[in-house]
Amino acid sequence: MNFYIIIPAHNEANFIGRTLESLVNQTNLPKKVIVVNDNSTDNTKSIVEKYIKNYPWISLINTTSSNKHLPGSKIINAFNKGLNTLDENYDVICKFDADLIFPSNYIEKISNHFETNTKLGMASGFCYIEKDEKWILENLTNKDHIRGALKAYRKECFKQIGKLKASMGWDTVDELLAKFHGWEILTDETLHVKHLKPTGESYNKASKHLQGEAMYKMRYGFWITLISALKLAYKKGSFRLFRNYMSGYFKAKSNASEFLVSELEGKFIRDLRWKGVFKKFF
């Protein structure tokens, strides 16, 4: 299968070389890799250019945006700039972060999953972070959720969900919409991907409010937002985050922020979330 990979990168000089090195050593090489250098002020550009000299299927786009490291819109806007340069000759499109080290068989195994199951819309491995000189699971979400750092989409699924939303919550709403359209999601526990920079390390308070805003935009409603905010804050070990999430939700509601999904999609999402809650507790 033809894999196209887009890597948004903002000041990733400490990591991007290790990410690209892991990709050029894959047992199944990707067809194309595009690094979108988004307003970097470090050596990200020069590091990528060294790889371009040796690997013609790697390319670089330089773009300018905000210096703020906000999740959601900045990342997806950069991703879309890379996407707009690609042709249609791919089977799987990937959005990868610039601070990952992939096992050498990563693309091969993900490709096998897509080839084996024609209803598989999205697939990934798991992120691991280093702690006390050991690599442990970065346990921020349910194991059936694909982390935003390493998304892989079948082309048909990617187009059917309307591609990626330039908003906080994009990496949740994509899965929910995939399920709405009848696609399956798979996470492979045997694929351990080293995540060199823990999630949210450089997010500020304003960005944390965006999580609650995203819950509103996905039409969660108050009670599912409350449960989701409690769960996420608990996993991150901070009650302050819970307050930020709820504050973001109510702010978005008072501003009548634009939804990311239709009413019908929103009902499906709420029903799916409630099923998950009842399954876990009852």
Structural tokens at position 164: 């990626």
The 10s digit of each residue's pLDDT in 219-233 is: 999 999 999 999 888
What's the pLDDT band for 142 if we cut at 50, 70, 90? confident
Of the candidates 146, 41, 155, 53, the one whose C-alpha atom is nearest the C-alpha of residue 97 is: 146
The 10s digit of each residue's pLDDT in 89-104 is: 999 999 999 999 999 9
The 10s digit of each residue's pLDDT in 10-23 is: 999 999 999 999 99
Residue, of 115 and 68, whose pLDDT is higher: 115
The residues that bridge with 144 in the sheet, in sequence order, are: none
pTM comes to 0.90
What span, in angstroms and rounded, lies between the C-alpha atoms of 193 and 55?
Answer: 22
At 271 the pLDDT is 95
89 CB burial (10 A radius; 0-12, 13-18, 19+): exposed
What span, in angstroms and rounded, lies between the C-alpha atoms of 262 and 266?
Answer: 6
What's the pLDDT band for 243 if we cut at 50, 70, 90? very high
Structural tokens at position 113: 């999953």
14 CB-near residues (< 8 Å, 6+ apart): 196
Q: Give the mean model confidence (pLDDT) for residues 48-73.
A: 85
SS3 sequence, the chain? CCEEEEEEECCCCCCHHHHHHHHHCCCCCCCEEEEEEECCCCCHHHHHHHHHHHCCCEEEEEECCCCCCCCCHHHHHHHHHHHCCCCCCCCEEEEECCCEECCCCHHHHHHHHHHHCCCEEEEEEEEEEEECCEEEECCCCCCCCCCCCEEEEEHHHHHHCCCCCCCCCHHHHHHHHHHHCCCEEEEEEEEEEEECCCCCCCCCHHHHHHHHHHHHHCCCCHHHHHHHHHHHHHHHCCHHHHHHHHHHHHHHHHCCCCCCCCHHHHHHHHHHHHHHHHHHHC
At 200 the pLDDT is 55
* 141 pLDDT more than 90: no
At 106 the pLDDT is 98
Q: Give the mean model confidence (pLDDT) for residues 96-121.
A: 98
Round the average pLDDT of the chain to a whole number and report it.
Answer: 92
Q: Give the mean model confidence (pLDDT) for residues 158-163.
A: 97
Q: Which of these ranges, 46-50, 67-71, 259-263, has the smallest mean pLDDT?
A: 67-71
At 139 the pLDDT is 76
What's the pLDDT band for 253 if we cut at 50, 70, 90? very high
The 10s digit of each residue's pLDDT in 163-222 is: 999 988 899 999 999 999 999 999 999 999 999 987 655 555 556 788 899 999 999 999
Residue, of 159 and 65, whose pLDDT is higher: 159
Phi-psi region of 126 (alpha: psi -120 to 50; beta: other; left: phi over 0): beta
Report the relative pairing of strands 120-131 and 150-154 from DSSP bridges: antiparallel
At 211 the pLDDT is 87
Q: Whose structure tokens read 């070990």?
A: 237
* Contact status, residue 66 vs residue 74, Cβ threshold 8 Å: yes
Q: Give the mean model confidence (pLDDT) for residues 105-111.
A: 98
Structural tokens at position 33: 């890799």
* Contact status, residue 9 vs residue 98, Cβ threshold 8 Å: yes
In this prediction, what percent of the chain has a pLDDT beyond 70? Answer: 93
Measured CA distances, 122 to 22, 148, 160, 231 (Å): 21, 12, 12, 24
Residue, of 197 and 33, whose pLDDT is higher: 33
